[in-house]
Amino acid sequence: MLRRIPGFKGYLDKENRREADALQREYLADRLQRAKRGLDTHTRTLVDAGQIDALPQFDRLRGRTDKLIGRIRGAMAGYSGVFDLVRIDEAVLDQVYEHDLLMVERIEGLAKAIEDLPNMPAGATAAETVNALSSEFDAAENAWNKREDILKGIE
């Protein structure tokens, strides 16, 4: 019934966008947090196998995971509230929304790659694994940078 009041539907849509943005960012951060278990499991496997030379590389990957989680949780919101001092153009918000849909796929891919670490083929070296994961991290971080650029009006 409130949607029939002129202008109120747009207000509700903006509030829904606000909630959706917050939920999506929380989902992405939680997804990466859960994926870190694969990194921990793989690291324990390396320790058990006596391959401690590779541990610093995997520790750096863990640090990158934590950093990306922090960036996602503390990111600039992809919405503009009614009383916000800085207003974001609706077209920009639509662009952020489209980009965020792609971010879900990118983070899912990264999380899956991290979770698959314990199932890595026996012949794969730690360096190959780290290089492959580093490429996944680079892609996810670049995509997140693009999101920030869109909101800042750079993109």
Query: Residue 82 belongs to what domain range?
Result: 2-152
Report pTM. 0.78
Instruction: List all residues 6 or more positions away from 3 whose beta carbon is below 8 Å from its beta carbon.
Output: 9, 12
Reported as a single tens digit per residue, the pLDDT across 3-61 is 444 444 444 466 677 777 788 889 999 999 999 999 999 899 889 988 889 899 999 99
Q: Please tell me the predicted confidence (pLDDT) of residue 33.
A: 96
Reported as a single tens digit per residue, the pLDDT across 129-141 is 888 899 999 999 9
More confident call, 24 vs 80: 24
Where b means 16+ CB within 10 Å and e means fewer, 115-138 reads bebeebeeeeebeebbeebeebbe
Question: Where do we find the tokens 């994926």?
Answer: 35
CA distances from 97 to 24, 66, 102, 103, 147 (A): 10, 24, 9, 10, 9
Domains of the chain: total? 1
On average, the pLDDT of the chain sits at 81
